[in-house]
Amino acid sequence: MQSTIFKQKSNYWRVFALCFFTAVLLFAPHCIVDAVAGGGYFHYAGDFNDQQINFYQYANAFVKNGGSFSWATDLGSGFVNSYSFYLLGSPFFWLSMVVPARLMPWAMVPLLCLKMAVAGGGGYLWARRWVRDETWSMLAGCLYAFSGFSIYNIFFNHFLDVVALFPYMLAALDDAVIDDKKGAFPFWVALNLVDNYFFFAGQAVFLIIYFFCMAAGRRYELGLRKFVRLAWETALGCACGCVLLLPAGLSLLQNPRTIDPFSGYEYLFYGKSQQYGAIFYSTLLMPDAPYFKDLFQEGILKHTSLTAYLPLVGVAGGLAFCRARERHPFTYVLKVCVACAFVPVLNSAFYALNSSYYARWYYMPILVLCGATCYLLSRPALAEQRLPRALRLPYYTLKVQELLLTLSRMDPPEEKQPTQYLSQQVELIRAIHDQLMDRPDQRVTIETLAKAYHLNTSTLKTVFKAVYGQPIAAHMKHHRMQEAARLLRETDRSVGDIAQQVGYENQSKFSKVFRETFQILPTEYRRQQRG
């Protein structure tokens, strides 16, 4: 197991380095141009120039000099109240304290590169559980780090702090529920809350959606004890994060400025019809350049792109995934997020029930989109489930011929056919099958599966064999060996690592089963496949 953990850590740092140096290549030309033009350091647009650089420089000096009240902010304001939203709770800001205040304008680009590296690494850590294939998990992290949302919102700067830290909290939630790991989730809850309390409000809503979708898709299974512990860890993390939330909240309560609340039909429909077009636009196209006019003049489109930094990657992959895996939790999450985007009162849940349109929570479904896209790309056979209309006839003709050929070589089975069972039973069996296929490293007993899905063991075994043509054990053995063969062909992992990933703690036992299946040892199989 230690070797597997080491492999995962090394891949994390590979993604980290890849995203960091990609960001360097992205920013370097602009830094060179700005230096030649006489600016000396990177300029982007709007708030990045007018606020973000100045905030970092001023806060750096202010913290080092000490004090609690700033006369340089507004007409005078408490330092914690004013800067807790922008940077005071950010670990990236505190890391920048090693840099002298006068050099902070030159440190902004290294910090941006670091944020994208952290975001990519976090995206990978979350995706590896669900995508399973390491290469595609790494790609999911990279797509997340360089999404349209991230690229566009460079000029807000502190938005990228939120993007960078969020995947770690989501991965920690999966670890807490699925693997029963303790301690990490409250830490990441506290860190995300301290980093930016305003964005955390939307993150809390998304975590609730994610939790119930995972439970509905039977990926989360909680007894009362585990649920109580998870609630306690959530409360503990929030309590720790109140070190900045409490003073900032007390300050906000004294602010006389308010936003008009919802009224009438505005709960369900946007007041401007252009809003619906803007949502589709931000979903399918790249974000517009900051401060340039676009098709939607009200500014309702800005800062909302869902695409990865290759047009349509995120959304196209997500749509294909939802069609292929209709009952997967990711599909549920994405459908709920679509509803939240189009219904004002639901959208406002991410914005403290504010009535104005808000789309700066899109980075969270973007992470799921990237995971879903890479999950689908890692399993091209899933595309067979949803074919274009023009290809259906030839495809199904071939399948019928294949079926007839197979049946001609078989004796008529005595077992019941799937159609003879209740459709609910068949759907439960398909859900069990998906769970087993997604986690070949897990050894789950038939009794445990039957209990989790409220079936008796006899029904489970009988219906599974009727649907998939094999007993559960034989079916899983075949799947594990096919997955092991693929890993031997496509990766450089050791045989021991591969054995553990497909559910064999004993390498010698794995080699024996592999030889029984393919009539060749794993090492020889790899050597032959690679010529």
- Of the given ranges (79-93, 184-198, 353-367, 377-391), which has the lowest mean pLDDT? 377-391
Tell me the mean pLDDT in the region 270-286.
69
- Decide which of 78 and 2 is more confident: 78
User: Measured between alpha carbons, how far is 309 from 317 in angstroms, rounded to an integer?
Assistant: 14
User: Measured between alpha carbons, how far is 116 from 371 in angstroms, rounded to an integer?
Assistant: 17
Class of domain 420-529: mainly alpha
pLDDT digits (tens, 9 = 90+) for 201-234: 899 999 999 999 999 988 898 888 889 999 999 9
Of 32-46, 114-128, 412-426, give the range with the top mean pLDDT: 114-128
Confidence of residue 407 (pLDDT cuts 50, 70, 90): low
Cβ contacts of 13 within 8 Å, gap of 6 or more: 121
Cβ contacts of 114 within 8 Å, gap of 6 or more: 20, 92, 95
User: Measured between alpha carbons, how far is 420 from 465 in angstroms, rounded to an integer?
Assistant: 13
pLDDT tops 50 at residue 69: yes
Structure tokens at 149: 């949302």
| Per-residue pLDDT, 314 | 60
| Per-residue pLDDT, 116 | 96
| Per-residue pLDDT, 94 | 94
| Per-residue pLDDT, 418 | 46
| Per-residue pLDDT, 316 | 78
> Angle of helix 472-490 relative to helix 522-529, nearest 10 degrees?
50
Of 5-14, 29-38, 324-333, give the range with the top mean pLDDT: 324-333
On average, the pLDDT of the chain sits at 80
If phi > 0 it is left, if psi is from -120 to 50 it is alpha, else beta; for residue 279 that is: alpha
| Per-residue pLDDT, 421 | 53
User: Measured between alpha carbons, how far is 178 from 176 in angstroms, rounded to an integer?
Assistant: 6
pLDDT digits (tens, 9 = 90+) for 140-197: 999 999 888 888 788 888 889 999 999 999 999 999 998 889 899 999 999 999 998 8
pLDDT digits (tens, 9 = 90+) for 244-253: 777 776 666 6
pLDDT tops 90 at residue 466: no
Nearest C-alpha neighbor of 330 from the set 314, 311, 346: 314
Structure tokens at 246: 């409490």
pTM beyond 0.85: no
Nearest C-alpha neighbor of 157 from the set 92, 215, 226: 92
- Decide which of 78 and 136 is more confident: 136
pLDDT digits (tens, 9 = 90+) for 51-61: 888 889 888 88
pLDDT digits (tens, 9 = 90+) for 129-141: 898 788 899 999 9
Read off φ and ψ for residue 256, nearest 5 degrees. -75, -15
Nearest C-alpha neighbor of 12 from the set 156, 121, 136: 121
Per domain, the residue ranges of the chain are: 12-250+261-376, 420-529
| Per-residue pLDDT, 7 | 42
| Per-residue pLDDT, 413 | 47
| Per-residue pLDDT, 324 | 82
User: Measured between alpha carbons, how far is 472 from 432 in angstroms, rounded to an integer?
Assistant: 10
| Per-residue pLDDT, 387 | 47
For a pLDDT cut of 70, what percent of the chain falls above it? Answer: 77
Confidence of residue 6 (pLDDT cuts 50, 70, 90): very low
CA angle, 303 then 308 then 313, to 5°? 135
pLDDT tops 50 at residue 397: yes
Tell me the mean pLDDT in the region 327-343.
91
